[in-house]
Amino acid sequence: MDKKFGAKKTDLPELPRIGDRVSFIYVEHAKINRQDSAITVLDARGTIRIPVAIIGVLLLGPGTDISHRAVELIGDAGTSLIWVGERGVRYYAHGRSLAHSTRFLEKQAALVSNTRSRLAVARKMYQMRFPNEDVSQLTMQQLRGREGARVRRVYREQAKTWQVHWDKREYNPDDYDASTPVNKALSSANVALYGVVHSIIVALGCSPGLGFVHTGHDKSLVYDIADLYKAELTIPIAFQAAAECGEEDDIGRMVRLRVRDAVADGKLMMRIVHDIQYLLDVAPTDEIDIDIIHLWDDKEELVRYGINYSERND
């Protein structure tokens, strides 16, 4: 029972700097195990070995089995685990954060705890929505009014584009089926976006509950960040789905798949990371550079990447 298998636990100074790591690797429909200082990923195509110390965050999608020995190695190497939905569009749980320092969390807490700095961050969020206007002197009430008008305008424009009847955003969280098709689509699309945003927030070591515009909810920051992208992502997807969905179609599933495909290339995830760092006024020396790496699943190819980290064992 005293015999030890595999490589010894890596000392902290031996680990790569976070900037040298591959930040996100997504795996689905595969078995993950450990071999020496690498994890092995087995799927229908074969086995690939990945040195675990190069990984910042390992995203575990549907159909993924991971061994205790692999988790032990991942924890020792300072790598984060996040359990997500298909292609990362839903967040379920996480282990450690990518940023093991508390710098981001402390900065977030300091900014949200001071009325002036909190208002400054909120204004930056609204400025991102109104790039051609100066909102630096507006109150929160004025900002909310402008944002409400902007979102209503986007709804009307999308309804006209896709010829979808639209009254207002109306839904009951406890009775999804009572909503109109387009409101169902909006709810499903937003939930998928929340999952993506939530997984990135926890990967960076920030608190999902410390929001700047939203408050009092354990996902306040998730809602803050997600609102930056709804007008260009979830709202158009929802209205298009409502226009194309038949009576027998599951509009919720249709929308989730479309959001999944829209974020599959990782560009939105990189943008979210950079936007969060901008909002928290993170110094360039503290920024985390994000690359999105996909492994193969047994059904389709995701995004190719030009680096071979290990030999494939056929």
- Where residue 208 sits, what CATH number does that domain have? 1.20.120.920
Q: Are residues 113 and 217 in the same domain?
A: yes
The verdict on whether residue 165 carries a ligand-binding annotation is no
- Using one digit for the tens of pLDDT, what is the confidence trace for 237-280? 999 999 998 877 889 889 988 988 888 777 888 889 899 999 99
The verdict on whether residue 214 carries a ligand-binding annotation is yes
For residue 310, the model assigns a pLDDT of: 43
Please check whether residue 2 lies inside any domain of the structure: no
In this predicted structure, the answer to whether residue 19 has a pLDDT above a threshold of 80 is no
In this predicted structure, the answer to whether residue 27 has a pLDDT above a threshold of 70 is yes
Please check whether residue 38 lies inside any domain of the structure: yes
Mean pLDDT computed over 209-232: 95
Please state, in angstroms and rounded to a whole number, the distance separating the CA atoms of residues 238 and 289. 31
Mean pLDDT computed over 37-49: 89
Please check whether residue 304 lies inside any domain of the structure: no
Q: Are residues 120 and 85 in the same domain?
A: no
For residue 312, the model assigns a pLDDT of: 44
The verdict on whether residue 247 carries a ligand-binding annotation is no
Domain residue limits at 207: 103-286
- Of the listed ranges 102-111, 172-181, 184-193, 234-243, the least confidently predicted one is 172-181
Please state, in angstroms and rounded to a whole number, the distance separating the CA atoms of residues 85 and 263. 13
Please check whether residue 306 lies inside any domain of the structure: no
Q: Are residues 53 and 139 in the same domain?
A: no
Closest CA to 236 of 128, 140, 149, 164: 164
- Using one digit for the tens of pLDDT, what is the confidence trace for 125-160? 999 999 999 999 999 999 999 999 999 999 999 999
What percent of the chain shows pLDDT beyond 90? 44
Please check whether residue 245 lies inside any domain of the structure: yes
* Model confidence band, residue 5 (pLDDT cutoffs 50, 70, 90): very low
